[in-house]
Amino acid sequence: MPETPIPARFLDVSVDRGRCCGYAVCVGLCPEVFDLDDDGLAHIVTDAVPIEFEAAVRHAEASCPEAAIIVTDGLSSPSNGKSPS
């Protein structure tokens, strides 16, 4: 019987660009996930945020002065455990 791959867990992270003022608190707390774009606003630098960044991403969410970061747990990728490219 073939082995069924265990889905990798990812976080759904988004930035409300209407609220973001570019303070870059998120970038300082989790540069693996956040950066500022050419407009000086935060954006997510990866298509899927691996679960191992959960603590840092949730800290960024809680620390955002404008409450512009939204984190939702539970996205799964039916892959072989490798991050999506």
pLDDT, one tens digit per residue, over 15-25 is: 999 999 999 99
pLDDT 10s digits, 22-38: 999 999 999 999 999 99
For domain 8-77, which CATH number applies: 3.30.70.20, 3.40.630.70, 3.10.129.10, 1.20.1250.20?
3.30.70.20
- Return contacts of 38-46, CB within 8 angstroms, 24+ apart: 41/15, 41/17, 42/15, 42/68, 42/69, 43/15, 43/17, 44/13, 44/14, 44/15, 46/83
Whether residue 69 has pLDDT greater than 80: yes
Whether residue 56 has pLDDT greater than 90: yes
Q: What pLDDT sits at residue 80?
A: 38
Whether residue 8 has pLDDT greater than 80: no
Q: What pLDDT sits at residue 48?
A: 84
